[in-house]
């Protein structure tokens, strides 16, 4: 490579920016790119997905740190924020007063937690938090040590994880949502009501079709919330989980086209050819879900574009919004949803539903042309992972989908030696059947060791010795005369019993 390296500047060291850099370093073996990564947080990159696990006390912080970018290939600056894009000058101004140039700019600025306007919040009372960063997570976990009543505003995926996590730490908690059921983005009413039941079983209060009208403070601390219907709930910890808003300020200020996110084409490229956006800050062909998987796909796609491969977007692009695979992480609740939900199933689809109110179980399968296109699975951990695999890998389905809902029963019962058929293999190591043992016994072998000497049953792994002993005892007991006789046994008599 004779041409000088292309300078790639990545703004945002969250999970998508991090993934993009990792993929680009892997793909670029010849050093075509010189990469700089700017991260606003002072922490090393971490797995944001697991913050709710830390709140729940289920994951050590050590389990969150992501691999550091290869220091030989990537200049990584953390604790530094970009403050302005100079598109004409191809540089980014930073909050430490410096500027850094680029040939190609990748915006992975992510999203910020959305906090709705609520009376009382304007005074920024203590112990009200969003859950977006490691600092948020630490603050919530610290407060959970002595909180008496927590409220979580928003019963989406993250809100429920936070609520379950706080409950696991022993904090009484109530989750409040404006929709008429929990996880409305992912769930239909029926499974959502079942989920709410499960949450209540765990001690999590659930209030739907309501909202918080006012946060009541005393001495700059939250003490209670007043709901829209006037109810008052004591609260000394509040987590706001009302979704996110793309962080588009830098792009908008620089005059790039923005809507809810930074507008990009199928190649993740903005109106300016040298500037790309990926992850939560980007608004492209896919719906903006706030989920990780689409962001990772965009990172991979952009790397492919930068390597010069023509990406097969065309086939993917016009597809109807697919419900991404979403799995709730919470002790005691197993919920996974993906693809078409029951209420969207068409007339030609096959919709199979299992509802088990006592066990708080609800499963919807949507099958289209013999393919599993939608799964909602609550309270059935023994099948949910298998359904995920069948959905993702599109493996052949059984003719009767009901069998997918029933985990394999143990069909082999520990057979009594007396009742097992003659052809049953007793000793696998030496392939000895019950009939072989009976034959040996008829031939005069009246002890387990005697039977072993003739048939070798029990001389391999030894796992069948108990059964061999049982058979010999049964045979000996069956005819004491024969057992003690010295002459040839009445074989016909024994065989007839088989």
Return residues touching another protein (CB under 8 A).
46-47, 49-50, 53, 58-60, 62-68, 325, 327, 329, 334, 336, 381-382, 384-386, 388-390, 392-400, 403-404, 408, 410-411, 428-431, 456, 459-463
The separation between CA 174 and the C-alpha centre of its own chain, rounded to angstroms, equals 24
Identify the H or E element spanning 249: helix 249-253
Q: Which is nearer to another protein, 287 or 332 (CB)?
A: 332
Q: Which is nearer to another protein, 44 or 136 (CB)?
A: 44
Q: How near is the Cβ of 97 to another protein at its closest, in Å?
A: 31
Q: How near is the Cβ of 403 to another protein at its closest, in Å?
A: 5
Q: Could you tell me the end-to-end alpha-carbon distance of the chain, in angstroms, rounded to an integer?
A: 81
Q: What is the CB neighbour count within 10 angstroms for residue 264?
A: 24
Q: Which is nearer to another protein, 394 or 497 (CB)?
A: 394
| CA separation for the pair 184, 192 (Å, rounded) | 8
- Cβ–Cβ under 8 Å, residues 280 and 12: no
Q: How near is the Cβ of 224 to another protein at its closest, in Å?
A: 34
How far are the Cα atoms of 6, 30, 32, 98, 309 from residue 2, in angstroms, in the given order? 12, 11, 10, 30, 21
Q: How near is the Cβ of 154 to another protein at its closest, in Å?
A: 20
Q: Which is nearer to another protein, 127 or 323 (CB)?
A: 323
Q: Which is nearer to another protein, 363 or 482 (CB)?
A: 363
Cα three-residue angle 364-388-194, rounded to 5 degrees: 35
Q: How near is the Cβ of 59 to another protein at its closest, in Å?
A: 4
Q: Is 453 left (phi over 0), alpha (psi -120 to 50) or beta?
A: alpha
Q: How near is the Cβ of 400 to another protein at its closest, in Å?
A: 7
Q: How near is the Cβ of 329 to another protein at its closest, in Å?
A: 5
Q: Which is nearer to another protein, 90 or 465 (CB)?
A: 465
Q: Which is nearer to another protein, 89 or 463 (CB)?
A: 463
157-168 and 134-144 are packed helices; what angle lies between their axes, rounded to 10 degrees? 40
Determine the 3-state secondary structure of 318 from DSSP: coil
- Cβ–Cβ under 8 Å, residues 376 and 364: yes
Q: Which is nearer to another protein, 81 or 397 (CB)?
A: 397
Query: Within a 13 Å sphere around the CA of 9, how many CA atoms are in the beta-carbon half?
Result: 22
Indicate the burial class of 166 (C-beta count within 10 angstroms; 0-12, 13-18, 19 or more). Answer: buried
Q: How near is the Cβ of 162 to another protein at its closest, in Å?
A: 16
- Give strand pairing partners of 119: 214
- Cβ–Cβ under 8 Å, residues 132 and 226: no
- Cβ–Cβ under 8 Å, residues 284 and 264: yes
């Amino acid at each position: 490579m004779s041409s000088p390296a292309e300078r790639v500047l990545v703004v945002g060291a969250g999970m998508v920016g991090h993934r993009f850099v990792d993929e680009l370093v892997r793909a670029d073996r010849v050093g075509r790119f010189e990469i700089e990564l700017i991260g606003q947080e002072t922490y090393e990159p971490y797995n944001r997905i697991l913050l709710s696990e830390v709140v729940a006390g289920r994951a050590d912080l050590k389990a969150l740190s992501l691999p550091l970018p290869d220091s030989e290939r990537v200049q990584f600056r953390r604790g530094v924020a970009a403050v302005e894009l100079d598109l004409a000058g191809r540089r980014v101004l930073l909050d430490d007063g410096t500027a850094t140039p680029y040939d190609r700019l990748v915006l992975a600025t992510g999203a910020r937690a959305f906090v709705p306007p609520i009376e009382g919040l304007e005074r920024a009372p203590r112990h009200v938090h969003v859950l977006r960063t490691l600092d948020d997570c630490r603050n919530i976990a610290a407060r959970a040590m002595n909180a008496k009543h927590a409220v979580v505003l928003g019963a989406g995926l993250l809100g429920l994880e936070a609520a379950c996590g706080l409950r696991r730490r022993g904090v009484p908690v109530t989750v409040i949502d404006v929709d008429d059921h929990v996880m409305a983005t992912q769930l239909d009413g029926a499974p959502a009501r079942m989920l709410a039941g499960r949450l209540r079983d765990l001690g999590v209060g659930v209030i739907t079709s309501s909202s918080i009208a006012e946060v009541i403070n005393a001495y700059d601390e939250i003490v209670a919330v007043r709901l829209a219907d006037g109810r008052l709930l004591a609260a000394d910890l509040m987590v706001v989980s009302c979704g996110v808003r793309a962080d588009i300020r830098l792009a908008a200020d620089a005059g790039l086209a923005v809507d809810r996110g930074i507008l990009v084409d199928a190649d993740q490229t903005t109106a300016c050819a040298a500037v790309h956006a990926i992850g939560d800050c980007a608004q492209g062909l896919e719906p903006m879900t706030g989920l990780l998987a689409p962001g990772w796909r965009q990172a991979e796609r952009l790397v492919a574009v930068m390597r010069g491969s023509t990406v097969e977007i065309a086939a993917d692009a016009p597809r109807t919004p697919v419900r991404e695979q979403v799995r709730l992480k919470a002790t005691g609740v197993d919920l996974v949803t993906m693809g078409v939900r029951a209420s969207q199933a068409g007339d030609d689809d096959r919709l199979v539903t299992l509802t088990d109110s006592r066990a708080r179980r609800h499963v919807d399968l949507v099958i289209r042309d013999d393919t599993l296109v939608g799964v909602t699975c609550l309270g059935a951990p023994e099948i949910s992972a298998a359904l995920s695999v069948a959905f993702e890998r599109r493996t052949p389905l059984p003719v009767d989908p009901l069998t997918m809902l029933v985990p394999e029963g143990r069909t082999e019962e520990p057979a009594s030696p007396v009742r097992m058929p003659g052809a049953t293999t007793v000793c696998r190591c030496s392939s000895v059947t019950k009939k072989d043992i009976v034959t040996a016994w008829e031939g005069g072998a009246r002890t387990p060791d005697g039977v072993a000497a003739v048939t070798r049953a029990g001389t391999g792994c030894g796992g069948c010795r108990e059964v061999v002993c049982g058979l010999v005892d049964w045979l000996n007991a069956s005819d004491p005369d024969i057992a003690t006789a010295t002459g040839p046994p009445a074989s016909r008599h024994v065989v007839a019993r088989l």
